[in-house]
Amino acid sequence: MATMLKSPLKKKAPPKPQVKKSPLDFIGWAKIVGSTPDEVEAAWNDLKRRSLVSVRQGKLAISAEAMIRAHTDIQRRLASHLSGYELTENSYIVRYAGPPPRGLPMILNTRIYVEYIANYFRGGWGVADIQRDLPQLKPEQIEAAIQYYLNHREEIERDIQRSIEIYEENLQRQQRMGTWEKLMKR
């Protein structure tokens, strides 16, 4: 009589299929932007239709122009949240989420803070003068920064003063270390 030998190796169960979790969270986003999930989904779909947002390899991709080209307030709030910005009253002026210096107001899609434009403006420069010095900016971006400065003068003046203090501290440190003289000799 022949006996069947059992294999010492256990059969492995087939691997469970990986279910990819969608990065789209309309319910969570609705709470953040202060809207309903249906409105947020409609805003997402319109932004997606216009190629301002997408999902690539399981990750969200947001166009740099999404906030400016948003048609509705919900689209703008959604695009700003997904981009990591805090909104201001002007679509050209944003803040990175977080404390300063990340939270300082800046011109959207640039690294130019409103305080830089405010310094030009305080020095008597007009929009055309500023644009000659900063040709990467459009006149409407400069006007938005000036308007933001005028509407938030106290806040921007504090930012400017803080920047001056940081500059002076660093200058004194460089002078103590002797690096200032080395830099000036170059």
Predicted local distance difference test score (pLDDT) of residue 73: 86
The rounded distance, in Å, linking the Cα atoms of 57 and 45 is 18
Q: What is the average per-residue pLDDT within 103-126?
A: 92
- 51 in the same domain as 114: no
101 residue type, one letter: P
Contact 77, 62 (CB under 8 A): no
Domain at 183, CATH number? 1.10.10.10
Strands (DSSP E) along 1-143, which ranges?
53-56, 59-62, 85-86, 93-96, 105-107
Distances (CA, A) of 3 to 6, 56: 9, 56
Per-residue pLDDT tens digits for 67-111: 888 888 899 889 888 888 887 888 789 887 766 656 789 998 888
Q: Is residue 174 part of a domain?
A: yes
Q: Is residue 15 part of a domain?
A: no
In DSSP terms, 56 is beta-bridged to 59
Q: Is residue 7 part of a domain?
A: no
Predicted local distance difference test score (pLDDT) of residue 177: 76
79: exposed, middle or buried (C-beta count within 10 Å: 0-12, 13-18, 19+)?
buried
Six-digit token string for 98: 């977080």
Domain count, the chain: 2
Distances (CA, A) of 134 to 88, 104, 112, 127, 161: 23, 19, 10, 10, 22
The rounded distance, in Å, linking the Cα atoms of 64 and 23 is 19
Which residue did the predictor score with more confidence, 128 or 179?
128
Strands (DSSP E) along 42-184, which ranges?
53-56, 59-62, 85-86, 93-96, 105-107
- 129 in the same domain as 68: no
pTM: 0.67
What is the residue range of 184's domain?
Answer: 101-186
- 120 in the same domain as 77: no
Which residue did the predictor score with more confidence, 18 or 60?
60
Per-residue pLDDT tens digits for 17-35: 665 566 888 998 999 888 9
Predicted local distance difference test score (pLDDT) of residue 10: 59
Q: Is residue 152 part of a domain?
A: yes
Q: Is residue 159 part of a domain?
A: yes
- Of 83, 110, 134, the last residue of a domain is 83
Q: Give the residue among 5, 143, 91, 96 at the shortest CA–CA distance from 104.
A: 96
- 156 in the same domain as 114: yes
